[in-house]
Amino acid sequence: MLGRSPSTPDDGHLPCVECDRRIPRTRFVDGKVACPWCQTLQDDAGGQVVVSPLPVGASHPKVTQRMEGPEQVYVTRQGSWFGWFWLAFTTLHCGFMFYGLAQGTVRVNGQVVTHPSVWHFLGLAAFYSIFFAVGFAFTLSRYTVRLSDNLATVRYRLFPFVGWTWRLAVGETIRVALAYRGARENNNAVNAVVLVSDGQEISFGSFLAKDVKAYLASAIDAFYNGAAGESADFIPKP
C-alpha cells in the first residue's frame, strides 16, 4: 500500500515495499527496480518510486484531453488485442450456434431442439451476452478522468450509463503512483493508477496499456502537484 514503511534489507536483497518478497540488488538499474512479482516500482532505499514528471504540453495519441470550465478532462479507451480477438471469436461462435439452432441441430439440456421457439433464441442470446460484455469491456469501454481543485472523479463505462464511478476528495496533499492492486494479466501482476489523499484511496485502469497508465498518472500528478511532479513524500498542494 502507498505510504507503507519499507522492510529492512538483508543478504544483498531488498524486500518489496508492496508484497514484501526479497528482490536481489543485482536487479536494480540506476537505483530503481520493478518487483518481479507485483511490478511495484521502488528505489534502492526501499521507497516506492512515484510517477515521472510530465513534460509541459505533453500529449498521448490514445488519450484525448480537454478543459470543461475549471475541470481538466482525460478520456481513453480500454482497447486491447485480446479484447478484439475475444469479441471476434465470440461473434463467430455465436453466429454458428444461432445458425445451428435455426437448423434444428443444437442440443439444449441434452436434447436436440428440432423446432426451436423464440424462447430458445432469447435464452441463447442471454447466454452469449455475458461473453459479449467481456469483449466490449476490453475493446470499446472507456475511462473518463475529471480533475478539479477539490475532487478527482474517474468514470468507467462499459456502455453508455453502464459502469462504475470512483471519486476522491482532494485534501491538502495528494499522491499519485502506479502500484499493484490485485489485478493480473496472463498470470502476471499489473499495476493500477493509484490516487491517495487524506487517508482515502481510489485506483483504476489496471488493464490499460502501460504507456497510457504512465501518461495518466503523470498528468494527474502534474495537475495537482505542478510540472515537477510528486516526490517520494507527500507535497502540499500549491
pLDDT by residue (tens digit) across 125-166?
999 999 998 888 778 788 999 999 999 999 998 877 788 999
**CA quadruple 34, 155, 224, 71: dihedral sign:** positive
Indicate whether 211 belongs to any domain. yes
* Whether residue 180 is found in the same domain as residue 72: yes
* Whether residue 85 is found in the same domain as residue 73: no
Question: What CA–CA distance (Å, rounded) separates 103 from 219?
Answer: 55
For the ranges 1-10, 55-64, 222-231, the one whose mean pLDDT is highest: 55-64
Query: Looking at per-residue confidence, does 230 or 182 come out higher?
Result: 182
pLDDT at 19 over 80: no
Domain count, the chain: 3
* Whether residue 72 is found in the same domain as residue 154: yes
* Whether residue 205 is found in the same domain as residue 220: yes
Using an 8 Å Cβ cutoff, are 217 and 232 in contact?
no
Contacts made by residues 180-184, CB under 8 angstroms, sequence distance 24+: 180/18, 180/19, 180/35, 180/38, 180/39, 180/40, 181/206, 183/207
Query: Looking at per-residue confidence, does 166 or 79 come out higher?
Result: 166
Cell 498521448 sits on residue: 60
* Whether residue 74 is found in the same domain as residue 87: no
- pTM, rounded to two decimals: 0.65
Indicate whether 238 belongs to any domain. no
Mean residue pLDDT across the chain: 80
CB atoms within 10 A of CB 79: 17
